[in-house]
Structure 1
Amino acid sequence: MGSYIKVRVDEKKLREAIRSYLQDIYKYNRRIGGNYYLKPVHIVYKRGPEGEIKEYRYYGRYWYAVEYYGKSRGKSVIKWLYLGRNKPRGVPPPPKNPLEGLRYYTIRGEPRYLYVDSKTLERFSWFFEKVAPEGPL
């Protein structure tokens, strides 16, 4: 991702926008049953050079198989197996994810700011217009 642009967002609008776009995917997961799961966002945490914690978010299609191993102490024991970005055979096509390809990071303690590369900012300008009324800083 190269250099990043700092964007001030309205946290409430950001949460609402993401929730509304991902709702159909969560409904889809309930509909296809328990063997497969389409994860619409992948989150990675990294510590920066000054000790800050960065949370990277990547929106896309991440397929998992869910294996059930019974119960232990009254709780279900499952294992998540990453299958890749291609849909498994026999699974109905998922709904469109308008956020697919969106990627940014935040710094813990700075929830009002997203750090976005210029290509992502341009491609998702329609999204940032909704959640970042002031535009990039």
Structure 2
Amino acid sequence: MIQLLFTVLAVEAATVTALLFSTTLRKLVVIGVDHLKRGRGPVVVKTVAATALVVFCSSLYSMTKISRRSAEHGALTPTDQVLMSRNLLEATLMGFILFLALVVDRLHHYVRELRWLRTSLDSAMKHNGALEQETSRLS
């Protein structure tokens, strides 16, 4: 499970990096995220995110159970130390994954809005130039 979490984290980090810099890869990533947000994609993403959130909360609950048990006995046993570190690693990775999913969503939104604003600005500049040419011709 931890290898899967690291893989998902690396893919999300690469997606964030691709969205941050204006390259041809950014266009491909935006198209891919657009396709992911259509059809059944949002339902699947929300289901996976909810499952990750439940597993995240389960890891946190297990960690609090282990820490309560250690408070009663005074020290952590080696088995509890291993379980605590594994739960901490899983919770940290899932927290980062959920956070990066939100970052990818917002970056995708801002990149699309930026593209729309640039095309609107270009069309307004062309329209303004045409009006200026018309007024200079009439004068």
TM over 0.5: no
Bigger CA radius of gyration: 2
**TM-score of the pair, normalised by structure 1:** 0.29
**TM-score of the pair, normalised by structure 2:** 0.28
Greater strand percent: which structure? 1
